[in-house]
Structures are given as C-alpha cells and as structure tokens.
C-alpha cells in the first residue's frame, strides 16, 4: 500500500448488477465486522464517506437490451466515480465496499482520472469480461472488466469519461476458475494476463504475486486492487452470490495482501460481493476485514 495515511471508506450498497438479493447489505456487514477500527489501529486517519445513493427508479429490465437494470447501474456508478475522484483529489486512499462487482466500473472510472497508466489486479473466480452479446445472464456484475477496457454497451463504457479506462496489458487476473467462452476469446484477443487456479496451484501464491508485481511495476503509475470475495474458496468465504469450489485459501489470500502491501504499488482498493444473507455469522465480512488489514500493513510481529 502507498505511504499515505488517510483512508476514505465508500460504501456502495448495490445489488442491481445481478439478481440475488442481499449483496446490498455488504457494506454494512463489513463495517459491522470492524473495518474502521482495524485501520485506525494501524494508525490510519479514517474517513467514512457513508454510502453512495442507489436509485431504484430505473431498476427494471430494458426492452432494447438484455442488460439488467442498465440505467440504475449507470447512475450509481457515475455517482461512485465522482466520489472516488474527489477522495483521490483530497489526498486520501479510496477503499470501496460492495455491493456487487458492477461497482468496479465506477471505481475505475473515478480512479483513472488521476493515472495515465493505471494497473489493475483482479482477484476473482471470474473474469468479469462478458458483454451483452456473450453474457449468459445479462447481469452487469459479470462485465465490469470488459467495460473498463472499452468493450461493451456505450452507456457503461462512457461512464465518467471516454473509454477505455484501463489498458488490457495493465491487467492481471488472479484466481480465475470460471470463465465463459466469450471471456476466453476476449482474454486471448486482448492479451490479458491471467493466473487461473491451475497456475496458483502450480506456481504457488508467492510466485504469482511476485510475477504480477514485476509485470505491473514498470509500466503503471498506480495499481488498483479489485477483490471479489468469491475469489476465495467457499469454505473460507461462504457469503457470496456466485461461489465456485476450489478457490484461493484464506492463508494464500493473506500472503497475497501482505506481499502487495510490501510492494507499495497499491493506490486504491475495493472489496465486493459480500452477501450477509448467504453468510455464516458474518464470516465473509470478517474475512474481508482481515484481508484489508493485511493490505494496509497489519503484521503479526
């Protein structure tokens, strides 16, 4: 993590990027699990900016597209982008709490206002590289990375500035184990670097993170971490909407966060897809807070 000592928490209680209710309570669950206290104990000045307002006026299926809740998702992400932009301008590190992963569209749109070559580490079981044409569901939470590289519906790619927001060669996906056919094509076409669970198992997390840092450090001027809790194995993080067995372990994830903190590359972060309705005694939100602690410098000794 960069050496700034002020963190601004932004909650995005959004569940419109998919159809399973409950993920809108993610920011509350993470706050309840003690994120502010954890960061303050690490000597950060913490500002909780509250939650982005999510309008449900347009939370309906559009007739001219299979994208679900398009207008409402665009509205929320535009508000989020503006807030993230303001936070970075103020000299603070934005820490965004989700909500479903469609919120990454707004986070990245606001962040890239301040970087010419933003890198992105996408810690996730999924590629989130679908489009209206390739998506089996029309759920926008499966599209934010595609949108951020300028591929997708123009109302999404054009949020808070011109597309693309991020260059494909500045992205590293870690933990992928569920990719749709259209996503595989886009990964090959755009040359996106992906460490599937095969590579994580084969190389080990240490090597994966070392390589990711090496890959990004020379060509980026900041790195955003977008961590979907379904990147972890469901045994460790059960409270997610799209669990996929065989994921990254709790300990491997801590190691990854610790190494990223030591690298000094991470300049912003978001933790998404915590769904307390599907959780066991707020376990997933607590895992999220523990991982944030490691990302922000919490050490055993």
**Residue 279 assigned ligand-binding role:** no
DSSP state of 93: E
C-alpha span between 282 and 25 (Å, rounded): 11
Q: Is 228 annotated as a binding residue?
A: yes
Q: β-strands 118-123, 171-176: how paired?
A: parallel
Contact present, 120 and 171 (Cβ < 8 Å):
yes
Catalytic (active site) residue 180: no
User: Considering just the CA atoms, what is the radius of gyration of the chain in Å?
Assistant: 17
Catalytic residue among 270, 273, 279, 298: 273
Instruction: Note if 126 is an active site residue.
Output: yes
Active site residue 279: no
Known catalytic residue at 128? yes
15 among the known binding-site residues? no
**230 belongs to an annotated ligand binding site:** yes
Distance CA 233, CA 239 (A): 11
- Whether 236 sits among the annotated catalytic residues: the reply is no
61 in a known ligand binding site: no
Is 124 noted as a catalytic residue in this protein?
yes
Sheet holding 222-228, edge to edge: 45-51, 6-12, 93-98, 266-272, 222-228, 118-123, 171-176, 193-196
Annotated catalytic residue within 15, 24, 100, 128: 128
> Which residue in 51, 126, 252, 261 is the catalytic one?
126
Q: How far apart are CA 266 and CA 95, in angstroms?
A: 11
Please pick, among 15, 85, 100, 101, the residue that the annotation labels catalytic. Answer: 101
**Catalytic entry in 124, 258, 261, 270:** 124
Residue 85 annotated as part of some ligand binding site: no
Q: Which two tokens stand for residue 288?
A: 């999220």
Q: Does 221 qualify as catalytic in the annotation?
A: no
Question: Is 273 annotated as catalytic?
Answer: yes
- Catalytic residue, candidates 24, 51, 141, 224: 141
* Of 15, 75, 183, 230, catalytic: 230
As annotated, the active-site residues are 101, 124, 126, 128, 141, 228, 230, 273
Q: Which residues are annotated as a binding site for Mn(2+)?
A: 101, 124, 126, 128, 228, 230
**Which positions make up the binding site?**
101, 124, 126, 128, 228, 230
């Amino acid at each position: 993590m960069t050496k700034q000592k002020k963190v601004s928490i932004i909650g995005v209680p959004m569940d419109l990027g998919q159809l399973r209710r409950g993920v809108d309570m993610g920011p509350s669950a993470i706050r309840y699990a003690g994120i502010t206290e954890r960061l303050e104990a690490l000597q950060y000045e913490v500002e909780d900016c509250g939650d982005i307002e999510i309008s449900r006026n347009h939370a309906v299926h559009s007739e001219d597209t299979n994208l679900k809740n398009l207008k409402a998702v665009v509205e929320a992400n535009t508000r989020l982008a503006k807030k993230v932009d303001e936070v970075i301008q103020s000299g603070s590190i934005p820490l965004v709490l989700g909500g479903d992963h469609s919120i990454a569209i707004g986070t990245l749109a606001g962040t890239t206002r301040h970087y010419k070559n933003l890198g992105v580490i996408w810690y996730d079981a999924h590629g989130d590289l679908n489009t209206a044409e390739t998506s089996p569901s029309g759920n926008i939470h499966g599209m934010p990375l595609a949108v951020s590289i300028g591929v997708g519906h123009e109302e999404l790619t054009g949020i808070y500035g011109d597309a693309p927001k991020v260059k494909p060669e500045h992205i590293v996906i870690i933990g992928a184990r569920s990719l749709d056919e259209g996503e595989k094509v886009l990964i090959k076409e755009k040359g996106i670097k992906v460490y599937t669970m095969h590579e994580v198992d084969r190389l080990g997390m240490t090597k994966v993170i070392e390589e990711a840092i090496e890959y990004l450090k020379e060509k980026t001027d900041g790195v955003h971490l977008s961590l979907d809790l379904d990147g972890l194995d469901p045994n460790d993080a059960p409270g997610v909407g799209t669990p996929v067995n065989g994921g990254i372990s709790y300990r491997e994830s801590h190691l990854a966060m610790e190494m990223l903190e030591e690298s000094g590359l991470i300049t912003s972060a978001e933790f998404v897809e915590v769904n307390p309705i599907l959780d066991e005694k707020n376990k997933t939100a607590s895992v999220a807070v523990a991982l944030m602690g490691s990302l922000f410098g919490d050490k055993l000794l």
